[in-house]
Chains A and B, each alone.
Chain A
């Protein structure tokens, strides 16, 4: 279905391409860039908006146009976020849980995907199905059972409960994405290595894994985003303030009768920056990884 639709869309685009004189070409590209730029603005706008409202007072946030510039930038919101928001502790915890969970997830997922897609055994389809089915349970259904589980294991108020939960819940999607990719990677090199007498472990670590660097970076980014913004598990499984994360810090500013939007904005801006940085660094890796990883003969 998607292919047919792609074709139809392509023919419409091709109409603007087919006037292939250089002027026509230029107009085509012009339109293209215009559309891409508009999309870019739509995507970036929230960041700008967030920044603006982190500098507004509560009253300004209420109802005035989202475009309006703050009357007097409330940098105090950032100070408030840092102190009343306990950001230093929360920040560290967010980083710790996210990094730990992401690394564990990607490593375990790679092992599993390799085994399922490259190795030959009867139950591979079933196991893949098991992992995929794990994606289908709604989060809130698992809260009470998991809480009881961790309580029995005496892991309440222990960061491991959160980290392991993140890993478990991100494995299905990571494995699914990885498996999609693994199938597009040629097997000849691995087959050649087997003929050469390489052990499985060497094949995995020295041949397959390096070829998957682009998709690994992708899954790292995706996992990182999910974990960084997560708050339901953190709130439920952890009680001491010293273990809580930035997302909790954000919610600290939502109150019974009053919500301090300026401070929330500031907290969100502070929490976005590391993710943005990590993301920009990592997404370059995707391009680099391709150059390094794609094998030519």
Chain B
């Protein structure tokens, strides 16, 4: 018993010396940086950040303390911190619907001055990406990641059944039929998580209703029950009925579903460029598998309004924010600018991650897939940001649930759009 008392006293004593301080013992300013790239799972990103921090600390009189959580825990903790106004000086945020409540709650500092004040950054961002982090014309986040989605496929399986890369949707359906008839899972999808399923829906909506239709719906300029959108939902279920997806997809997470593709049980996987390391550089994946993987752009739809095959579903990943009440705002902003720049230079080569800033491929030694994809990015006619990112958290949650239900055939296409429309109407009142 007495041992416990002593231990508790000791701990209580320790704490008072480690409670939040603005300057460490040697007078340096301390910047608290919270991010979601743990050393274990996101080693490449983690290392890049760590190196950049070390570089920066050498040149500047600051100490940067990091707190690292995995993405789910990060989200949870960020909310708790925000509720008592205890945000870290620098943190990570997603765009659009995610960042909006934080801005409206007056928690974040505008970051336009970082970009305007730095010649290197002024035109570095790919057009449209930074704007996803803006509210009322002011930028509150500087993006670090950009992803677009493709249908990745197993070239060997295609060859085995004499299949060609489909350019139109009817060609795609023929591919699906051949594969299904031969007992191969045509495409795998993690419908339990909702968002992987959303890719399919969004592409169909784009191809049938045109590239701006979903964004217009979210912004209130178009209706969710537009016939094109209903058709998109119908086509999704047609694919399900044809056996176009892995069985029980609505119980599979993205990770579970991915396994089928990685194990060559499924021929195709519609996912975004964050998966590239698994098909190119990752040492954990066998080279013979990587050699079999190719990709194609989502096919066009005969008679649809979205005629460009270069219109993508994609969007920014995480970006950096600076807390409004940060006591070291100036220093934090300076570091953010530095981090974004150096990140852009290193992320593709060191982590296989595409940054939101323009990449000069001529100077870098990249795997062929990256060069092609970066070229595609340059030629893209449109990138529609993910539905769940653009919409408010409540609509995003609903969207996930409805996508799971659509794939599990627990909801009809009409019900699907109706519930969306109701929820959106509630917010747009």
Contacts and interface: CB of A to CB of B under 8 A. Distances in A.
Q: Do chains A and B touch in the complex (CB under 8 A)?
A: yes
Interface of A: 57-59, 61-64, 80-81, 84-86, 96, 100, 103-104, 107, 143-144, 147-148, 151, 154-160, 163, 231-232, 235-236, 239-241, 249, 251-260, 263
- Which interface class (under 10, 10 to 19, 20 to 34, 35 or more) fits B? 35 or more
Nearest to A149: B84
Most buried by B among A252, A253, A257: A257
B287 interface: no
Interface stretch (B39-47, B293-301, B321-329, B333-341): B39-47
A263 B41 CA distance: 9
A249 B72 CA distance: 14
Given A107-B1, A147-B83, A148-B83, A252 B67 contact: no
A107 B284 CA distance: 49
A151 B4 contact: no
19 contacts: A59-B262, A59-B289, A62-B259, A63-B265, A100-B4, A104-B4, A144-B80, A148-B84, A160-B8, A160-B11, A163-B11, A240-B65, A252-B38, A252-B70, A254-B70, A256-B45, A258-B41, A258-B42, A259-B41
A62 B263 contact: yes
B40 A84 contact: yes
B39 A158 contact: no
Interface string B8-47: 1001101110111000000000001010111111110100
B260 interface: yes
A248 B37 CA distance: 13
A151 B84 contact: yes
Given A57-B284, A239-B67, A103 B80 contact: no
A160 B84 contact: no
Given A147-B83, A157-B15, A254 B72 contact: yes
Contacts of B16: 154
Interface string B62-77: 0001011111110011
A231 B1 CA distance: 26
A59 B80 CA distance: 35
B395 to A, nearest CB: 22
Given A84-B39, A155-B15, A235 B260 contact: no
Contacts of B8: 100, 160, 163
B11 A255 contact: no
Contacts of B32: 239
Contacts of A235: 69, 73, 76-77
Contact of B19 (A157, A232, A249): A157
Given A147-B83, A157-B18, A236-B77, A256 B37 contact: yes
B136 interface: no
B19 A158 contact: yes
Contacts of B265: 63
B71 A255 contact: yes
Given A100-B4, A255-B71, A258-B42, A240 B18 contact: yes
Contacts of B86: 151, 156
B255 interface: yes
Contacts of B70: 251-255
B351 to A, nearest CB: 11
Contacts of A156: 19-20, 86
B41 A252 contact: yes
Given A232-B76, A252-B40, 11 more contacts: A59-B284, A62-B260, A84-B43, A235-B73, A235-B76, A241-B68, A251-B38, A252-B39, A254-B70, A256-B36, A256-B45
Nearest to A60: B263
A257 to B, nearest CB: 4
Per CB-CB distance, the 7 closest pairs between chain A and chain B, nearest first, are: A255-B41, A62-B259, A63-B259, A158-B15, A253-B40, A252-B38, A252-B40
Contacts of B39: 84-86, 252
B285 interface: yes
| Interface-centre pick from A80, A86, A96, A235 (highest chain B CB count, 10 A) | A235
Interface in B236-270: 255-256, 258-260, 262-263, 265
B7 interface: yes
Contacts of B256: 63
Listed residue (A62, A104, A144) with the most chain B CB atoms within 10 angstroms of its CB: A62
A103 to B, nearest CB: 5
A100 B43 contact: no
A256 B40 CA distance: 11
